[in-house]
């Protein structure tokens, strides 16, 4: 089972926070939630290096930046990979 964390953050800091989370490398999925509705969901590959993941989702980050400019605050929900799941993925 994956671990989930939520952050409430100002709109102008959303893109920077998402980039930071991607670079951590143990993220399975990132959801951007505004007023209780999921606005954007970014699935991330378990095996993808952080730099490659950032390049692949660059268009999504651009859209996220445009959205973030319009809102004062939103929630970032992060689904992290459990250590056991990560080890199983490496064995396959």
Domain that residue 11 falls in: 3-33+45-91
pLDDT at 49: 60
Q: In CATH, what number is assigned to the domain containing residue 65?
A: 3.30.70
85 domain-assigned = yes
Structure tokens at 48: 């993808």
Helix (H) or strand (E) holding 43: strand 37-43
Of 88, 40, 83, 29, whose CA–CA distance to 64 is shortest? 40
Residue by residue, pLDDT tens for the chain (92 residues) are: 678 999 999 988 988 988 888 787 788 888 999 999 998 888 876 555 655 666 667 888 888 888 888 888 999 999 988 766 555 555 55
pLDDT at 38: 92
Write down the pTM of the prediction. 0.71
Domain count, the chain: 1
Taking residue 61's Cβ as centre, other Cβ atoms within 10 Å add up to 18
């Amino acid at each position: 089972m994956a671990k989930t964390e939520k952050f409430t953050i100002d709109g102008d800091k959303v893109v920077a926070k998402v980039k930071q989370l991607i670079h951590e490398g143990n993220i399975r999925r990132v959801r951007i939630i505004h007023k209780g509705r999921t606005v954007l969901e970014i699935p991330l590959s378990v095996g993808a290096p952080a730099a490659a993941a950032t390049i692949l989702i660059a268009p999504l980050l651009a859209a996220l930046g445009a959205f973030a400019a319009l809102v004062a605050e939103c929630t970032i929900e992060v689904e992290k990979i459990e250590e056991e799941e990560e080890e199983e993925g490496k064995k396959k």
